[in-house]
Amino acid sequence: METKNKMTKSVVIIGKGPSVLKSTKELVDSFDEVAICNFPPMEGYEQYIGNRATYHFLNVHDPNPYKRERLDSLGLKYMFNTHPVPHPGYKEIFPNQDVEYFEDYGKKKFKEFEIKFGFDSGHGGGPSCGIMAFEYFVKKEEFDTISLVGFDFFKVGERGYYYELQEVQASHRYLYSSKGDKPFNEEGIRVKENPHGSKRSEKFIYDRIEYYGKKLRHIQ
C-alpha cells in the first residue's frame, strides 16, 4: 500500500512555571509554532520565551492583556477560551489583526476531561489552561513534536511561577499569604496542592504522548 508523505510540524507550549528560566529564545524559535497559556510575562523575559505566539489559550473571563504593542507584535492567529463558560472576549485581549477565536473551547472540553480523564471540574479542579492547550496539539495529526516549557505541574514546595511576585496579575494576588491559608506564601512558594492535581496532570501528559505516538521535549 502506497503511503503519502505528510508535512509535519512542531510546537512549543509556554506555561508559567519556574522551569521557563531553563529555556532560551533560540529553543523556542526552533519550533514551527508557539502557543502561550494565559498571559506569561514577556517584558524582560524574551531571552527565555521569545516574542512570538501563533496560538493563545486563555481564560477570557480573567483578562490580563499585554500592552497593545506587544499583543499586536506576537503574530497571533488562533485564540481559545479555556473557561467552561463561553465568552465573546473583551476587546483588550485581541490584537488589531484578525484572529480565529473559539469562545466555547472550554465548554466543549471540560465535560470530556471529567468523564474520560478524571479531572473533577468542581472547585477549580478541571484541566489547567496548559493541559487544555496540550490536548489540542497532541490530537492534531500534523504536529509530531511537542515541547513543554514552564510545565512544572504545580508542585508543593516549589515556586509557582518564573516571574517575581510584583508581576503577578492583580486578580491573583489574593492567593498569597504568610499565614499558610492560601496556595502560596509571600515568597511565592506553593504550600497547598493545586486543585488541577499535580500527579494527575503529569500522568495525563505522558499517557497521551504514548497513546498518540508523539515526540515530547519537556524542559524541566
**Percent of the chain residues past pLDDT 90, beyond the cut:** 70
Strand 100-102 versus strand 143-149 pairing type: unpaired
Helix (H) or strand (E) run with residue 109 in it: helix 105-117
Q: What is the pLDDT of residue 116?
A: 86
Domain boundaries, the chain: 9-156+195-219
For residue 70, give the 3-state DSSP assignment. Answer: helix
**What is the Cα gyration radius of the chain?**
17
Q: Residue 37 is placed in which grid cell?
A: 497559556
Confidence of residue 178 (pLDDT cuts 50, 70, 90): confident
Confidence of residue 4 (pLDDT cuts 50, 70, 90): very low
CB neighbours (10 Å) of residue 66?
19
For residue 102, give the 3-state DSSP assignment. Answer: strand
CATH class of 9-156+195-219: alpha beta
Distance CA 76, CA 212 (A): 27
> Nearest 5°: CA angle at 61, between 122 and 113?
35
Which segments of 30-152 are extended strands (E)?
33-37, 55-58, 78-81, 100-102, 143-149
Strand partners, 14: 36, 149
Average pLDDT, the chain: 91
Q: What is the pLDDT of residue 173?
A: 87
Q: What is the pLDDT of residue 1?
A: 34
Find how far residue 53's CA is from the centre of its chain: 12
**pTM of the predicted model, to two decimals?**
0.91
Find how far residue 197's CA is from the centre of its chain: 15
Confidence of residue 3 (pLDDT cuts 50, 70, 90): very low
Q: What is the pLDDT of residue 124?
A: 59
